[in-house]
Amino acid sequence: MNDADINFYFDPLCPFAWMTSKWVRKIAAQRDYTVDWRFISLRMLNADVDYDSRFPAGYEAGHTAGLRLLRVAARTRAEHGRQAVGPLYEAIGTQAFDSAAALALGPGEQGSREFVEPLLERAGLPAGLADGLDDASRDGELRAETDEALALTGRDVGTPIIHFGPPDGTAFFGPVISRLPSDQDALRLWDHVVGLAAFPGFAELKRSLRERPQLHSFGVNPGETGIQEDWHGGSRHLKKLRPGTPAASGRNSGPVRGSGRRAVRTRTLQGRMGTSRSRRCGSPRTSGSSSASTPRPPSATPPSGHG
């Protein structure tokens, strides 16, 4: 039986899911929430997609490596309990995105036994669980959990998906963040996200402009601000930027240091129905000002007076 305060659906090699998971861990520690770390496979989400025409180079290999790591996570859960998934995800994400070697890691390496065995040991688990990398018998379980996540949000989303106050609470894709907030700001952001999620009829707040995340795998160190780019469906499309912006001008080789002021200020607030497209990693979402309240994750039951 799952009595978690939050269900967090992740693909282990989605960098934006990893950023959001680090924020959620801060919240869980400060609010004494429990998190059930669940699975969603970007490779399965895009099983019918022509990667060559819909994705930048390397995405298929990356999504496949994520699927292989999810098989290991599923075996870990089956043999060592749900509580073992969080430490394993933390070990994988730290190595894949925050380690000194992260920038040089290729997707083929990330889906390998050489990559995952020491991470299993770091998480206090047997290295032999790496046998699960090639165990396609786990795919039915992963597909069912992926479908479970999409049943909560609709299919035109990516990773991560957060289910607030399960089983009756609401669920949303995101929020997608590029910077890891301080402990205090993490709480402020959480309260605003929870407030939006609890509002009856709220569906989407979105912008496609985003900074590269503060991860070594993107060449952005803590305290630095990644360059801002225009992302479509979860991947960078620099040619979409207006002429004269730093990325469109080719000045996009590294992070921006200092104030973090945005080079492009266009924002879009849109509420739309899902369309048929490829599902990728992350989609931006914003938050507002601070809140003094400290609510538990919201129920899906509308407040009195709302339909």
Tokens for 69, please give them: 């790591």
Tokens for 173, please give them: 């894709």
* Cis geometry, peptide bond prior to residue 175 (ω within 30 degrees of 0): yes
Amino acid at 134: D
Tokens for 96, please give them: 């894949």
CB 142 within 8 A of CB 74: yes
Average pLDDT over the chain, rounded to whole? 81
pLDDT tens-digit profile of 85-104? 999 999 999 999 999 999 99
pLDDT band of residue 118 (cuts 50, 70, 90) is very high
pLDDT of 292 strictly over 90: no
pLDDT of 216 strictly over 60: yes
Greater pLDDT, 34 or 2: 34
pLDDT tens-digit profile of 223-244? 899 999 998 765 554 443 344 4
pLDDT tens-digit profile of 123-145? 999 999 999 999 999 999 999 99
Q: What is the mean pLDDT of residues 153-161?
A: 93
pLDDT of 5 strictly over 90: yes
pLDDT of 212 strictly over 50: yes
CB 284 within 8 A of CB 231: yes
The pTM score is: 0.79
Measured CA to CA, the distance from residue 230 to residue 249 in angstroms comes to 13
Q: What is the mean pLDDT of residues 165-190?
A: 95
Q: Phi-psi bin for 223: left (phi > 0), alpha (psi -120 to 50), beta?
A: left
| Residue 8 phi, psi dihedral angles, 5° rounding | -115, 115
pLDDT tens-digit profile of 42-66? 999 999 989 998 888 889 999 999 9
HEC per residue, the chain: CCCCCEEEEECCCCHHHHHHHHHHHHHHHHHCCCEEEEECCHHHHCCCCCHHHHCCCCHHHHHHHHHHHHHHHHHHHHHHCHHHHHHHHHHHHHHHHHCCCHHHCCHHHHCCHHHHHHHHHHCCCCHHHHHHHHCHHHHHHHHHHHHHHHHHHCCCCCECEEEECCCCCCEEECCECCCCCCHHHHHHHHHHHHHHHHCCCCCCCCCCEEECCCCHHHCCCCCCECCEEEEECCEECHHHCCCCCCCCCCCCCCCECCCCCCCCCCCCCCCCCCCCCCCCECCECCCCCCCCCCCCCCCCCCCCCCC
Q: Where is mean pLDDT largest: 102-106, 255-259, 279-283?
A: 102-106
Tokens for 43, please give them: 């490779």
pLDDT of 290 strictly over 90: no
Measured CA to CA, the distance from residue 297 to residue 307 in angstroms comes to 20
Q: What is the mean pLDDT of residues 174-200?
A: 95
pLDDT band of residue 205 (cuts 50, 70, 90) is confident
Q: What is the mean pLDDT of residues 72-80?
A: 98
In terms of Cβ atoms closer than 10 Å to its own Cβ (0-12, 13-18, 19+), residue 271 is exposed
Q: Which sign, positive or negative, has the C-alpha torsion 59, 63, 69, 73?
A: positive
For residue 159, list its beta bridge partners: 281
